[in-house]
């Protein structure tokens, strides 16, 4: 019986040692693969320094009295809404598609100004729909019948091009994502890493917390990230969290998309209506959709926010502050919306270009994309829109992939094993397993030798 137990122990030990060899080998192999430079995306990279969107350039040249916005068509070509035939000919000569509409952007903006001047109704939002040449007003489930009736009367006074519609759920900020950041006020998501040249910060949503809020990377409050040093909400929705160490560290140009993976950010720009975009958040991960409107207004319970990007991308509580991007270009940070990622909904984003200009910071990008602009202060001029470059919206991708480094909260076992820093530990596991195999072999030989001696000593005794 004792010999049987010994055999079982030896077998278990050998199996554990072999398992250690396999695990250590996998750690070394995967970590080596993760250290390779990720391939660049096949899609056309767009940067703020690149050529502007042809549609917006035509709108700027023809003026808002003769145009009513531009968007990206299903074939990837820009479409410009114009109010007369002469403007349509100019658009076609420039290689874009023209759509003649009855109302100019001046008329549409006048309508939104009238809506803003009316008594504020919490739970409503509106934006100009370039493609239908109208203003769309939405009211969530919290808006009473009386308020809905009063809003409808205001819309009727403006004109029939103001479209009223009810929507499910409630328009709320998504407080409660990339990577999660936590404070006593709730959980948000880290947006983009930015710098003022001396210190590094996280650009996130303003409603996540006022100046002075302390942020952590874990639920226990052991890993302090930093403190909010500037915040703007309502009106706009952005804030700066200054890193406690002063520096963002390695991988600062990468945003997390879950599973230990990330997307490398190469620049910032303003989006175009119809553009395919991607959002990452610590609650719902990576999601995609299209830009449906610009300069949107939302009446949250906490206050009104204007100048937002409207999308049909879903979001959930905890996704607030998370990054919006496309083809590696930073576009916005998550503000709020309605619905969830099961039923869908509308989500609004604070444009990063306006936030960075106001805060006096710039994106932290990889060395190959920094150029000479990395050491200069941000320009006050708005960035050019992220041009589609003749690419159909559905062909767009998030950007080039990159491993996520830094905060490991919520990372998977596979992500930790494939970390390049685990090459050393992997080799240690291999070495320990080899020692265990040799030791078990030696112990078995010694046991056999002693058994042999006992047998023959008894025989010849």
CA distance 451 to 437: 21
Catalytic residue among 47, 140, 183, 207: 207
Phi and psi at 55, nearest 5°, equal -60, -50
Nearest to 154 by CA among 135, 170, 169, 141: 135
Catalytic entry in 53, 237, 253, 319? 237
C-alpha 382, offset from chain centre = 21
Closest CA to 398 of 289, 250, 292: 289
- Residue 163 falls in the annotated catalytic set: no
Q: Which residues contact 456 (CB under 8 A, 6 or more apart)?
A: none
For the stretch 425-430, contacts whose Cβ atoms lie closer than 8 Å and that sit 24 or more positions apart, written own/partner, are 425/27, 426/23, 426/24, 426/25, 426/26, 426/27, 426/28, 426/31, 427/24, 427/28, 428/24, 429/20, 429/21, 429/23, 429/24, 429/27, 430/20, 430/21, 430/24, 430/25, 430/28
CA 319/CA 204 separation, integer angstroms: 10
* DSSP code per residue over 199-257: SEEEEE-GGG--TT-EEESSTTS-SEEEEEEEEE-SBS-EEEEEETTS---TTTTEEEE
Asked if 311 and 289 count as a contact pair (C-beta separation under 8 A), the reply is yes
Q: Cα separation of 264 and 45, whole Å?
A: 11
Respond yes or no: is residue 237 known to be catalytic. yes
What 3-state class would DSSP assign to 18?
Answer: helix
Name, in order, each residue with C-beta under 8 angstroms of 305's C-beta and a sequence gap of 6 or more: 233, 234, 235, 236, 237, 297, 298, 335, 336, 348, 350
**Annotated catalytic residue: which of 320, 335, 400, 433?**
320
Bridge partners (DSSP) listed for residue 136:
127, 163
Q: 452 Cβ partners below 8 Å, 6+ apart?
A: none
Active site residues: 207, 237, 320
């Amino acid at each position: 019986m004792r010999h049987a137990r010994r055999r079982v122990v030896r077998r278990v030990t050998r199996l554990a040692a072999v398992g250690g060899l396999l695990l250590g080998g996998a750690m070394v192999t995967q970590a080596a693969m993760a250290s390779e430079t990720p391939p660049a995306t096949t899609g056309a990279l767009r940067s703020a320094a690149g050529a502007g969107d042809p549609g917006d350039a035509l709108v700027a040249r023809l003026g808002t009295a003769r145009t009513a916005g531009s968007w990206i068509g299903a074939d990837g070509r820009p479409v410009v809404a114009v109010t007369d035939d002469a403007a349509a000919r100019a658009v076609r000569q420039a290689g874009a598609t023209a759509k003649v509409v009855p109302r100019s952007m001046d008329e549409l903006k006048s309508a939104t100004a009238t809506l803003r001047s009316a008594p504020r109704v919490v739970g409503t939002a509106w934006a100009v729909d370039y493609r239908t040449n109208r203003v769309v007003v939405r009211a969530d489930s919290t808006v009473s019948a009386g308020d809905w009736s009063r809003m409808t009367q205001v819309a009727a006074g403006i004109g029939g091009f103001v479209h009223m519609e009810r929507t499910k759920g409630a328009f709320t900020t998504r407080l409660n994502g990339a990577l999660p950041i936590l404070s006593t006020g709730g959980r948000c998501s880290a947006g983009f890493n930015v710098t003022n040249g001396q210190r590094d910060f996280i650009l996130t949503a303003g409603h996540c917390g006022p100046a002075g809020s302390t942020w952590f990377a874990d639920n226990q409050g052991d890993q302090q990230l930093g403190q909010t040093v500037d915040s703007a909400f309502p009106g706009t929705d952005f804030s700066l969290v200054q890193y406690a160490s002063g520096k963002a560290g390695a991988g600062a140009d990468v945003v997390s998309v879950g599973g230990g993976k990330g997307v490398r950010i190469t620049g910032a720009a303003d989006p175009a209506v119809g553009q395919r975009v991607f959002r990452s958040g610590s609650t719902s991960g990576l999601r995609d959709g299209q830009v449906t409107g610009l300069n949107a207004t939302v009446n949250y319970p906490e206050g009104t926010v204007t100048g937002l990007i409207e999308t049909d991308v879903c979001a959930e509580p905890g996704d607030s502050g998370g990054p919006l991007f496309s083809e590696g270009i930073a576009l916005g940070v998550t503000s709020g919306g309605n619905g969830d990622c099961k039923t869908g909904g509308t989500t609004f984003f604070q444009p990063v270009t306006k936030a960075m200009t106001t805060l006096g910071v710039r994106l932290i990008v990889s060395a190959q994309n920094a150029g000479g602009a990395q050491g200069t202060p941000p320009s006050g001029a708005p960035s050019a829109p992220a041009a589609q470059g003749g690419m159909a919206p559905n062909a767009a991708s998030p950007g080039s992939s990159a491993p996520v480094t830094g905060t490991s909260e919520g990372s998977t076992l596979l992500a930790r094993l494939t970390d390049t820093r685990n090459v050393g530990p992997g080799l240690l596991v291999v070495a320990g397993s080899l020692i265990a195999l040799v030791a078990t072999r030696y112990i078995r030989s010694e046991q056999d030798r002693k058994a042999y001696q006992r047998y023959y000593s008894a025989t010849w005794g």
